[in-house]
Amino acid sequence: METVSENRSHGGTQGVYRHKSTATGTDMTFSVFVPDHEAGAKLPVLWYLSGLTCTHANVTEKGEYRAACAKAGIIFIAPDTSPRGEGVADDDAYDMGQGAGFYVDATQQPWAPHFQMRSYIEDELPALIAEHFQVDMARQGITGHSMGGHGALTIGLRNADRFASISAFSPVVAPASVPWGEKALSGYLGEDRAAWRAYDACTLIEDGARADALLVEQGTADQFLEEQLKPELLAEACANANIPLTLNMRDGYDHSYYFISSFLADHVAWHAERLKA
């Protein structure tokens, strides 16, 4: 693991790191904020998955989470959204290819050789984090934004025994039913919609996935709200499955990091309550 940068911030260390991924076959970059802590102490972890066109840098530079994480004693990890580099398949559109991995393990060409983001986020990167940082892997939470909100919900629901807390900002809750998701899932996984169900929060819940609680933040001025996000579908699925869902519709907020940074500290505190020893 290569250290790209480390900086002191809010009584902790904000680092950016790079490593050679076996899952994607490429170099992958991620950021980690570690609050100061007693030697030997292991801290809980909050994963943050970013949205379309983003890298680890968006939330690292704009998220305003460090003070809250330092107060709560939580390690904050932000991976990249896709494999990148020469020889990695791409698309001219922003919603497919590099920067748009959708947190799936692709089965279709030309994506399958590198776009194994589910395996990277669920298996490879956690093992690397556990090796190099003082983390308590028995206390993990996950959150994310937009495409990353979709990733947080689906990864959290598929691994409910691992994640004690799941939240999301402006998530794509039903990708199998909206243009972004239909394009990505058909491209990465093929036309068999049965293969899509593991990557759709609403169908996962329909198929029996459960969580103790979900927290979702959504701006009412979000330009993608009606066509791509459809939080009402998640509300319906959770109601049918008796999953407690807190859906905060924030008046006047859009899809940007102005919105995320306004409420990310609240989410850190919400996760901290659920990640207590």
Residue boundaries of the structural domains of the chain: 2-274
Is 56 designated active site? Answer: no
The end-to-end CA distance of the chain, in Å, is 29
Average of pLDDT values for 258-273?
98
pLDDT tens per residue, range 151-174: 999 999 999 999 999 999 999 999
pLDDT above 80 (res 277): no
**pTM for this prediction:** 0.97
State the burial class of residue 183 (Cβ atoms within 10 Å of its Cβ: 0-12, 13-18, 19+): middle
Is 222 designated active site? Answer: yes
Share the mean pLDDT of the chain: 97
The residue type of 134 is Q
What percent of the chain has pLDDT above 90? 99
pLDDT tens per residue, range 31-89: 999 999 999 999 999 999 999 999 999 999 999 999 999 999 999 999 999 999 999 99
Catalytic residue among 145, 150, 255, 271: 255
Average of pLDDT values for 239-265?
98
Q: How far apart are CA 188 and CA 112, in angstroms?
A: 7
Catalytic residue among 167, 222, 267, 271: 222
- Structure confidence at residue 119 as a pLDDT band (50, 70, 90): very high
pLDDT tens per residue, range 186-206: 999 999 999 999 999 999 999
Q: How far apart are CA 22 and CA 40, in angstroms?
A: 29
Q: Supply the pLDDT for residue 223.
A: 98
CATH number assigned to the domain with residue range 2-274, chosen from the 4 options 3.40.50.1820, 3.40.190.10, 3.90.1300.10, 3.40.50.300 = 3.40.50.1820
Catalytic residue among 21, 31, 82, 146: 146
How does DSSP classify residue 274?
H
- Give the list of residues 6+ apart from residue 111 with CB closer than 8 angstroms, or none: 89, 97, 187, 188
Tokens found for residue 257: 């990091």
Is 266 designated active site? Answer: no
pLDDT above 70 (res 26): yes
